[in-house]
Each structure stands twice: as structure tokens, then as C-alpha cells.
Structure 1
């Protein structure tokens, strides 16, 4: 069989190709297939393939592209070597789809030579924001055990568009004007991606990986008369090292990162910077993947903690 060209390779169905690599979707919503990222370690699916457009996007890194972009990154190889692999894949007849599917044309966005690949990807466009009030979002907060009054203090209800469709989700703003976007069926972020700093004029700071852990912290300590510390929500572990200069200004840095491999490794790295300044607080939710997971599964423990005045 003659080696595939790039255009022929892009006609391979990405969902089927990932299945051949033993990566399977965690959930499917219309044309969107959500995966635990095959490009990095994570616990919550934030890698999406739009099967209709035949493109992918990794919300944890902000990168995406077509099958060629994915394959060269996944296999850490050149385009030429990838085409050899894909030719072998097609020859094995695992699955191959022509550019039309059930009479619909598969759309591929043309790319100009030298154009920034990230800028050519479909973008989330925030359309409007307001106080949280949508019933389905309030119900979702309830499932995550976050009181609406606490969520409304820090979050917004956000309308945004993606792939020509409009969605309404919970939005958590960062300091650069972007949002972390969540609902029961969506996880993403709008550009620019950045940290969120809650300044309570404290000499100590608590560091969270995601905003649901931060909201859980607020829920656990909701009866406090004064804020315990400033709060830094990274919104991505990649911002931990970039935030080191900020963290060094504090007397104490309390680490409440996720307890998956990436979170544990990041916590250990920060402890190695200065064990007198950086303190691992994740033992509070030991046995759970993060603080929100503890809150969801240990409501009884939370009620006992609040009666005893126990706080993080």
C-alpha cells in the first residue's frame, strides 16, 4: 500500500484511532468525545475530540489540532514517521472513514503556511455573564455540595459559544479576564488562561489546583469570622512554578492540591523549595482525589468538624 499523504491521514476517524491506542471516551455529548488526556496525567477528562470536525483540544494545556498534530505529539515523532504508522494502521483495517459520514461533509479548517496553529483552532467566545441562577447549574452545585451563596460570591453564570453552538455554564474568573467554565457536561476555559488570586490581606496563602476545591474550602470554613488566608487558585498545575515569586512573598504557603500523581508531585516539588514555608495540607482529605471529593463523600465528617470548630 502506498504511504498515506497528510490529507489522507486526516480523514482517519480520530475516535477510532484513539481506541486502537487503548484510549476510550469517558463521556460523549453530541459530536464531542471526552477523554482522560492521552498526552499527560490527569483524573478528570479534559481532552476533547469533536468527531464531526475531526479536531482535538486539550483544555489542560490549551493546545489542539488535527490528527497529524496529535500523532506527532503522542508518538513524539516526525510527520514522516507518523505517516508510516498511520499507513500501517490503515492497512490493518482497524477502521477508516472517508471524508463524508452519513451524507455530511467532514469540515477541516484550512491552515495558512506559517499561521499559529493555536490561533486557528475553534475558540470559546464568552457572550454574556450574570449572577448564577439557572436551575441546572444550581442543581450541579448541589451535587458538588457547594451552597449557591458561596458560589455566587466568586462565580458567574456564563453564556459562551463554541463550534457555532451556545452553552450556559458556571464561570470562575481569572486575573487576566478569562474564565474556567464548568457544568455537569462541560469542562473548559476561555482565553486568556491564568491564575485567580483572592486577596484577604493575609500574610499566609492557601493554594488550590481548581476552583471547586477552593469553593469547598470556603464551604468547610463558612462559619469563620475572618478569612484565614489569601487564596491562589492555579486553574492549571502549569502555573505553580510560574507563581513561585508570588508565593515567596508569604510567611506560610498552605498547599491543598489534588492527590493524583501530578498533584502529589507538584506538592513535593513545592515542599522542596522550602519546607519551613510550604506546608502540605492534603492529609485533611486523605483517601480522596481532592477537597471537593472529600466534601461530597464526607458530609457527616464536615458537620462534625463544623460543630467542633475544626477548620482547614
Structure 2
């Protein structure tokens, strides 16, 4: 029936392939020559990013399969057990379309507020020029060590149907050029989400979930020379493990929660030189929580509330 027709042309033109992959749980590992590279989600044995997406053209190519195409071809490859119509309906449901009938292309701004063109980065400045940002970092206990790694990011955001808002935050760039931004009331990413790498020793690597934990570590160990990898999201655990394979020793500083313990376990199983260092902040949810407690001793930690063992650290 005509009313049950799937408009393939609108589906191809109106679906952001990169956004679709993100909704399915896949984030790019690197960007090169105008293309985004992922660990292939179509194969189980991919050890280096070989699934590439040309964001401008909206097409993909898997070098391991020697196969590629449009978002429609991806749906058929990603859901091989479904027939054509079922795969298209699955694609529409994940892409946010209405299902059957013509599918209108959606403006990018409505897809994800923190992607272009909804945000504009006005400028970045060294840490120390905006009192509110310095106060925020001081409250986290890491202002002293922040300047070499963080910048003050001044940006604006326009949500659909609303006026553009001028904002500022502490921020750092990730491996894909996106800005991870933090302020007292906001935590987000401007642009592509990815890991952040800080070069150091070629034989040892320290791995953290977030930048605040890394800065807490630098505060405690200012002479440490290890390279550092900040995941910015545990969704990047698999590529982090692959990257850590180039290092002889790996120190892990993950959170004391379910996802953090799971991440540590995966690392320890995958790398013979990995060591869990989270006992340093035992009794706290993460490294930075301990740092905050050291400057505000009356602040009760999450894990203390849960009556988990507490161990103080002499500074």
C-alpha cells in the first residue's frame, strides 16, 4: 500500500550516519583526511580502526570486508537477520524517523544540541582570567595544576526555538578536536566525543576516566612522567585497551562504581602489565572526590554513605 511505503531517498538524505552510529553505541577512534575511523561493528576481530565514514558524503566503507555504501546498506549489514523492510524499519526507529511513509530530512540542530550549528566556540583563554572558572576548579581542588592542561572556553548554544545563550566553562580538547567542558552546573562535549591523550613516557601509561581525576593525580605526583590517557567516557574502554597495548606498564585509576570496576577488570584481563591503583582513593567514588574531601573535610563521600571501607591518605 502507498501509505506503507518507505521513502528510501528521504531516509538516505535525512539520516546522519555518524549520529546513528553514536546512538548504537559506536564512537570514532580518530579522524583523518575528512573521514572518521571506527573499530568495525560489523566484525568481531577488528583490532585497529578500519571502518571509515565520510561524514560529508554520508557513506561508509569497511576495509576488512571490502564493502561499503549508504546508511541503507549499513542497516542491511548491521542487522543481517532481518529482511529488507524490517531492517529499514529498524533504521528508522533508531534514526528517530516516523516509520512508514515519506521521511523528511531533520535539521542537524534538532538532532543533538551540542553539535554544529547549535554551538559556536567564541574563543579560548588561559586559566585564570575568569574568576568563576577559577573558583570552580578551586572547589575541585585542582586549580594549582590545571593551567597546562585546561583552557577557559567561551561558547554559545542555541537550542531549537530558543535564544542563543552565551556560556563559559573549563575545557580540554579530545583526540578528535572536540572540547570537553565542565562548569559548576554543566558537563558536556562540544563536537565529537573521544579520548584525550597526554604524551609522556613511552613505556608507562596512566589511565583515567576523567580529566579531574588525572589532575588530582598530577597534584599528588607532580614528578610522574607516565603518558596519560583520559577516556572521557567508559564507552571508549575497548580502544583504550588497544592503545595501552603499546605500553609495558599500565596504571588504572577508575571509579569505585560498577562501570569503573568492570572497566578495571577488563583492562587487567587484557594487559599483563596493568595494575589497579584505585586503592589510593579507597573510601571515595573517584580520585577527585578524595581531593575535594582534602580541602573540605566535612564533605561526606558517596562510598562513605554506603558504609564502604574508608582509608585516609596523608599528603
**Which whole-Å CA distance do the structure 1 matches of 2:241 and 2:265 have between them?**
14
Q: Report SS of the residue matched to 2:124.
A: strand
Is residue 247 of structure 2 the alignment partner of residue 247 of structure 1?
no
**Which whole-Å CA distance do the structure 1 matches of 2:166 and 2:109 have between them?**
21
Q: How does 1:1-312 map to 2 (within 5 A)?
A: 113=104, 115=106, 120-123=111-114, 124-132=119-127, 133-148=129-144, 150-163=145-158, 164-222=164-222, 224=223, 227-274=224-271, 276-298=272-294, 304-305=314-315
Deviations 1:257-308 (A, max 9, x none): 111111111111111113x311111111111110000111135866x33xxx
Change (3 A) 1:191 1:284: same
Displacement of 1:146: 0.9
Query: What is the number of residues matched between the two proteins?
Result: 193
Q: Mind listing any 5+ residue stretches in structure 1 that lack a counterpart?
A: 1-39, 41-75, 80-110, 306-312
Displacement of 1:244: 2.3
Matched-pair contact (CA < 8 Å) for 2:208–2:214: yes
Displacement of 1:122: 2.1
Displacement of 1:180: 0.9
Give the alignment's Cα RMSD to 1 decimal: 2.6
Q: TM-score, normalised by structure 2?
A: 0.56
**Which whole-Å CA distance do the structure 2 matches of 1:282 and 1:288 have between them?**
9
Matched-pair contact (CA < 8 Å) for 1:147–1:219: no
**Which whole-Å CA distance do the structure 1 matches of 2:286 and 2:225 have between them?**
20
Matched-pair contact (CA < 8 Å) for 1:206–1:230: yes
Q: Mind listing any 5+ residue stretches in structure 2 that lack a counterpart?
A: 1-24, 26-89, 94-101, 159-163, 298-311
Matched-pair contact (CA < 8 Å) for 1:202–1:228: no
Change (3 A) 1:191 1:112: farther
Q: TM-score, normalised by structure 1?
A: 0.57
Matched-pair contact (CA < 8 Å) for 2:241–2:270: no
**Which whole-Å CA distance do the structure 1 matches of 2:191 and 2:169 have between them?**
16
Change (3 A) 1:263 1:118: farther
Matched-pair contact (CA < 8 Å) for 1:127–1:159: yes
